[in-house]
Structure 1
Amino acid sequence: MEGSPRTLDWNDVRYFLAVARTRRLAKAAKVLGVDQTTVGRRIAALEERFRVALFLRTPAGWELTSAGERVLQSAQRMAEAAEELSAQAIAEDGRIEGLVRIATSDTIAEYSVVPAIRAVQARYPAIRVVVNTGFARVDLLRGEADLAIRLVRPTDPRLACRKLAERSFRLYASREYVRQRGTPDSLLGQPIVTYDEAIRLGGQPFQLLQTEGLHVAFQANSARVMMAAAIAGIGITQLPDYVGDAMPQLVHVLPSFDKPYRIWLVVPQAKRRVAAIRAVSDAIREVFSAAPST
């Protein structure tokens, strides 16, 4: 390669970032559209050029070394600059297009992101969207998503955030459950419906509730399945108010356990001016602005 031994070029960045983000040669090769051998060879050449190991090859995947972490920061800045240049070129051409990857929860995706994307694509049909839901938090600065809708405000100055709404988690039971058992005045001894492993991991729902003495009757990895279990009378569950209140089969119980929270839209500072990301962000904000508050 031309250049000094410690100067990255864009081709180096593409291969390095693909491995850093996926932690697997095969996955990186798929992202890059090349074969796995090529990726391994390019990373080996890059490490030889830097005269330092950038990755540890482990059974769990390719882990960045401390040197690799330092290179990652520069590589991300180069990638961000390239994205901004590309976005500016597209904007100059009058086109708004591209892939936007969104990380959020399944309920926010269903109730807010889907309506927003419908509005976006009606105006900009060339914008494509991938939505990732689940407990695992994506790393926006590593490029694992382009924007996120989160319940915790980030503190990293490289991330721009804006409050979308103030909502509450509430406890709900089916009308039949209440008719048979009466309105509960305590969770003690009540069967509960919760996310799979949520109590062990300290996540929602029942995050701030005393778990000792609770009877976990049903677990799932989907809010929609949890809601169905609660409607079926299996137990009490905790849902966002905009989900539970919209279900006529459910009754809000134990209001003393209501947990208010805020919803934040988070975008890397370097991607705020990317036209497709900005269009999606604006549409999401409009959906939340139109929704009634609690």
Structure 2
Amino acid sequence: MDLEGSARALDWNDVRFFLAIARTRRLAKAAKVLGVDQTTVGRRLAALEERLRVELFVRTPAGWDLTPAGERVLQSAQRMAEAAEELSAHAVAEDGRIEGLVRIATSDTLAEYFVVPAIRAVQARYPAIRAVVNTGFARVDLLRGDADLAIRLVRPTDPRLAYRRFAEHSFRLYASREYLQERGMPDSLVGHPIITYDEAMRLGGQPFRHLQTEGLHVALQANTAHVLLAAAVAGIGIVQLPDYVGDTVPGLVHVLPNFDKPYRVWLVVAQAKRRVAAIRVVSDAILATRPRRAGDL
């Protein structure tokens, strides 16, 4: 089946509706994304299936799953969407307009320290650019349209993704001055309460990145960096934070430097979207917030 070869016989809106269902796996969610009612989504899907003479989805308790034919159509539909993005980018370049919604996926601390200042700078110049920032542990799929930009700790390997190195940082361990006055400077984590993300524990991972912590006492878990910070400043225990957070918080002291773990941060965008004006402007603004280091040009 060649969806692209049948493009003249298809309504592009039907394809858009198909992509929305494939991404959300729910008619109601697809309807919300597209700004229409659920009946319209179902009608558009039925029209596309009739035109292609195949069943594209099967309904399961978990949602709408693609059939094997739907998987093949998805690949072609994504290429059509990429072509539409390219056309839109050229149109914007011609008339000089820069507007639109840019969806950014990242962590809460990266969002607070880098993304928010970047969006403020963008909107001062381009007020018609809007942003949605989603944070969390779940990894988004840029190729399926879950977001337009992602700031990640892992460099992508898929050639359909473009990336630039954003920054180099370290995960470090911190404790409050009051905690250290009470307990003394630690020479290991043994015997010290720790503070960590609850998602790390629920997902079966280590509470601290790259550290073996089996058998240690978890004193407090939280789902935001702000609560972890508050707990550490209150002297509840030792917390692991990115250096750009921990080094700037009054009252926190960097401890156990032998456990520092350097890492790189990557700004990632789908190749098909990197020329979209609003996305390009936001990407450049985020890159401009990165800290300057010795040797930077």
**Shorter-chain TM-score category?**
over 0.9
2:182 to 180, 183, 186: 180
Please state how far the C-alpha of 1:114 moved relative to its aligned partner. 0.8
Match of 2:154 in 1: 152
Aligned 1:113-262 pairs, distance under 5 A: 113-201=115-203, 206-262=208-264
- Structure 2 unpaired stretches of 5+: none
- 1:37 Cα deviation (Å)? 1.7
Q: Is the 8 A contact 1:106 1:134 kept in 2?
A: yes
Which piece of structure 1 moves more, 49-58 or 161-170?
49-58
Once the two structures are TM-superposed, the CA of residue 52 in structure 1 deviates from its matched residue by 2.9
Contact 2:14 2:47 in 1 (8 A): no
1:89-104 counterparts in 2 under 5 A? 89-104=91-106
Q: CA deviation at 1:292?
A: 8.0
Q: Which runs of 5+ in 1 are unaligned?
A: none
CA distance in 2, matches of 1:175, 1:82: 56
Contact 1:194-1:216 at 8 Å conserved across structures: yes
- TM-score, normalised to structure 2, is 0.92
Count residues with an aligned counterpart.
Answer: 291
Match of 1:68 among 67, 70, 83: 70
Cα pair 2:194 2:239 within 8 Å, conserved: yes
Distance in 2 separating the partners of 1:239 and 1:5:
50
- Alignment check: 8 A CA contact 1:199 1:207 kept: no
CA offset at residue 202 of structure 1?
5.2
- Distance in 1, Cα, partners of 2:245 & 2:67: 43
The aligned amino acid for 2:227 is V
Deviations 1:208-265 (A, max 9, x none): 2112111111111111111111111111110000000001210111111111100000
Please, which moves more after superposition, 184-193 or 143-152?
184-193
Change (3 A) 1:126 1:134: same
**TM-score (normalised: structure 1):** 0.93
Percent identity reads: 82
Offset, 1:155: 0.3
Matches within 5 A, 1:28-43: 28-43=30-45
Distance 1:197 1:102, change over 3 A: closer
- In the alignment, the residues of structure 2 paired with residue 113 and residue 34 of structure 1 have an alpha-carbon distance, to the nearest angstrom, of 30
1:111-148 deviations in Å (ceiling 9; x for gaps):
00111111111111111111111111111001111111
- Aligned partners of 1:139 and 1:73: how far apart in 2? 14
- Which has the higher mean CA deviation after the structures are superposed, 75-84 or 139-148? 75-84
